[in-house]
Amino acid sequence: MKVSFHGQSVVKIVTENHTILIDPFITGNDTCDLHAEEENPDAILLTHGHNDHVGDTISIAKRTNCLIVAPNELAVYMESRGLNAHPMHIGGAHTFDFGKVKFTPAFHGSMFEDEEGNKIYGGMPGGILFSVENKTIYHAGDTALFSDLKLIGEMNQIDLAFLPIGDNFTMGPEDALIAADWIKAKRIVPMHYNTFPLIEQDGEAFANKVKTGQGIALKPGEGIEL
C-alpha cells in the first residue's frame, strides 16, 4: 500500500485493489500536484464541509460514481446532488470493501459554498481512522489540540498520521507536537500548511522536532509505503 500527500489536506491511499482520496481539494490548490479530471478513486472520504476539503468531490464523483463517505449532513447533501454517499458520524465505524472507516472528534467548523452559491452546513467535523491491510492511518482533519487525542492514541495502533500544523484555523506546530506525543503514531506527516500566506509554516522544522514516532515532511506528490 502507498499513501501519498498532495498539498493542504489531500491524501491518496492506493491499496492492492482500491484507491481512496481524502479531502480532495485539487482545483484552486496551488500546492497540489494532482489533476481532478485524472483521478478515478473507488471512494472519497471527507473530514468536514469546508471548500478546501470538499474541493473537487462533486465533479470527481459525478464522473466516476465513486462512493463518498462523510459526516451525516454532508453525505445527505451529496445524496441530494444525485451522488453515491454513505453517511457516518463521530464515533461510528463501518467496514467497506476498500477498508474500515471510523470517524473521530475534531474541534473545528463545517460549512461550504456550493456551485450555486448556497451555504451548506456540513455537520460536525471529524478526523478519520482508516484501517486496511493490517495498517491504520489517522487523518486528523482540521482540528485544535484537545485531550481526547490521548484516547485515540491509547485505543489504536496508528502506523501513519497526518496532523494539521498551519495555525490560525487549526493547531499550530507547537500544539501539533503535543498531539504527536499523544497519538503515538509510528510516523507523523504535517498537513494543512503553506497553501496560502495565513498558514505558512516550516514542515521540515516541525518534522525534525517530533519526538514520539518519526516526523516526515512530505512534499506534494511524495508518498510512504506501508
Parallel, antiparallel, or unpaired: how do β-strands 67-71 and 43-45 relate? parallel
Distances (CA, A) of 22 to 3, 25, 97, 146, 153: 11, 9, 17, 22, 21
DSSP of 187-205: EEEEES-SSSGGG---HHH
Contact residues for 204 (Cβ-Cβ < 8 A; gap 6+)? 217
- Residue 65 CB neighbour total at 10 angstroms: 9
Q: How far is CA 109 from the centre of its chain?
A: 15
Of 164, 160, 161, the closest CA to residue 195 belongs to: 164
Domains contained in the chain, number: 1
- Give, for all 226 residues of the chain, the pLDDT tens digit: 999 999 999 999 999 999 999 999 999 999 999 999 999 999 999 999 999 999 999 999 999 999 999 999 999 999 999 999 999 999 999 999 999 999 999 999 999 898 889 898 999 999 999 999 999 999 999 999 999 999 999 999 999 999 999 999 999 999 999 999 999 999 999 999 999 999 999 999 999 999 999 999 999 999 999 9
Parallel, antiparallel, or unpaired: how do β-strands 126-132 and 119-121 relate? unpaired
To the nearest 10°, the Cα dihedral for 222, 100, 121, 151?
-90
- Residue 37 CB neighbour total at 10 angstroms: 12
Q: Provide the CATH number for the domain around residue 64.
A: 3.60.15.10
Range of the domain at 102: 2-225
Parallel, antiparallel, or unpaired: how do β-strands 2-5 and 11-14 relate? antiparallel
Q: Could you tell me if 78 and 57 are in contact, meaning their C-beta atoms sit under 8 angstroms apart?
A: yes
The rounded distance, in Å, linking the Cα atoms of 187 and 180 is 9
